[in-house]
Amino acid sequence: MEEKKHIYVHETHTLYESHGELYIECEQGTIVWNLEKLYNDLPHMLSYCIEEHKKKQKRIKKEIEEIIKKK
């Protein structure tokens, strides 16, 4: 079985739609995503993003409280 290639997207250069597909251009190349499939996956993707954002907010709040304590 062929090993799958992972593409890490830190930033996108261009984002556009054509013929029902989303094109995401980044340093590693272009990712083409069927928009219907993307739409079906969005609830899960957003859930992951929201969860990670909450963790980040909690961490930042804790860091700020620690800084305030030291003063």
Residues 27-55: tens digit of each pLDDT: 989 999 999 999 999 999 999 999 999 99
pLDDT at 23 (0 to 100): 97
Q: What is the 8-class DSSP label of residue 68?
A: H
Residue 22 has pLDDT above 90, yes or no: yes
Residue 20 Ramachandran class (φ > 0 left, ψ -120 to 50 alpha, else beta): left
Would you kindly state where each structural domain of the chain is located, as residue ranges? 14-70
Quick check: helix, strand or coil at residue 71? coil
* pTM exceeding 0.75: no
